Amino acid sequence: MAPKIDVDSCVGCGTCAEVCPQGVWEIQDGKAVQVKPEECIECGACVDNCPVQCLSLEITE
Ligand code: SF4
Ligand code: SF4
């Protein structure tokens, strides 16, 4: 499952799209959007590199 995004906090920097090995993110109208959430391998790279910490990987049982 792809990381949850706090859209209000996203500044559209594009870092998540750059670091994601799976092409999950695209920037649309200044916000990150999941275009291929099913491709996420939960590597955490986008979460770790977002400058405003608006991404989070949630553990779901
Ligand atoms: S956790 Fe990894 S694979 Fe999933 S969206 Fe973030 S960078 Fe891409
Ligand atoms: S790295 Fe964070 S602030 Fe930058 S576009 Fe992605 S979600 Fe938005």
Domain ranges, ordered by start, for the chain: 4-56
Task: Quote the ligand 1 centre to 30 CA distance (angstroms).
Answer: 19
Binding site membership of 35 for ligand 1 (Cβ less than 6 Å): no
Q: Tell me the per-residue pLDDT of 30-49, one tens digit each, with 9 for 90 and over.
A: 999 999 999 999 999 999 99
pLDDT at res. 59: 60
Buried-exposed string 33-55: b where 16+ CB fall within 10 A, e elsewhere: ebeeeeebeeeebbbeebeeebb
Class of 4-56 in CATH: alpha beta
Question: pLDDT-derived band of residue 1, with 50, 70 and 90 as boundaries?
Answer: confident
What number is the average pLDDT over the span 13-33?
98
What number is the average pLDDT over the span 5-21?
98
Mean pLDDT of all residues belonging to the chain: 95
Bridge partners of 48, per DSSP, are none
Task: Quote the ligand 1 centre to 1 CA distance (angstroms).
Answer: 9
